[in-house]
Amino acid sequence: MNADPHRFAKRLGHDFARPELLIQALTHRSAGSLNNERLEFLGDALIGLVIAEALCERFPKADEGTLSRMRASLVKRESLAALARELRLGDALRLGAGELRSGGQTRDSILADALEAVLGAVYLDAGFERARSVVLRLFADRLEQTDADRADKDPKTRLQEWLQSYKRPLPQYLVLSIDGDQHDQTFIVSCQLQDADMATCGIGTSRRRAEQAAAQSMLERIRHG
């Protein structure tokens, strides 16, 4: 393990009564048979339910299709991986030697799955209400920024529209690196504002996903000044 899991638990904001659940949630299948796949299954369902409930409460007039698109945007792999990075979850992961060598602790799929597993572990450790509270706190900023009118628009489109509204030039996207085998590649892409000294990076399993992640990071940077 790269870091003390208890430090991660503090960043998460939950003190595990059964720390073995946290250890299991942070263990990738490459590191052993007692891994986080079952907890991931549980956490995926938990996050989907909690976010669906929150969206229904926040947007009482939104139809099913709009609610589904908003939920999909909030709980998609890239969004979960971004949250995991904010928590520095990768520092606490238990990975097999091969995954460590290939940088598995930075891969979207592994980070997103591990975050789902961690939240599944919180549910088993302390029950639904506690797990619900943790999920809502983690997603609070993203829920606040969710707009039913923009549910169909991806981050690149939203960034482009924001820049155009201020008559600013469109951003430039540049592929910084491509790692991994042909069937399992990781792209790192930068998003650069041409009229300002501002750049962000995004990571994804395709160039498009990496560009979207970089655009999302730029939007968040703009919002927070």
Give, to the nearest 10 degrees, the angle between helix 37-58 and helix 128-138. Answer: 70
Q: Which residues are catalytic?
A: 44, 116
Q: Are 216 and 203 in contact (CB under 8 A)?
A: no
Q: 107 in helix, strand or coil?
A: coil
Residue 179 marked ligand-binding = no
The closest of 12, 168, 30 to 109, measured between CA atoms, is 30
Strands laid side by side in the 186-193 sheet? 172-179, 186-193, 198-204
Write phi, then psi, for 151 (nearest 5 degrees). -60, -30
Residue 116 marked ligand-binding = yes
The closest of 22, 5, 17, 74 to 44, measured between CA atoms, is 74
Q: How far apart are the first and last CA of the chain?
A: 35
Residue 220 marked ligand-binding = no
Beta strands in the chain (DSSP E): 172-179, 186-193, 198-204
Q: Which residues are annotated as a binding site for Mg(2+)?
A: 40, 113, 116
Q: Which residues are annotated as a binding site?
A: 40, 113, 116
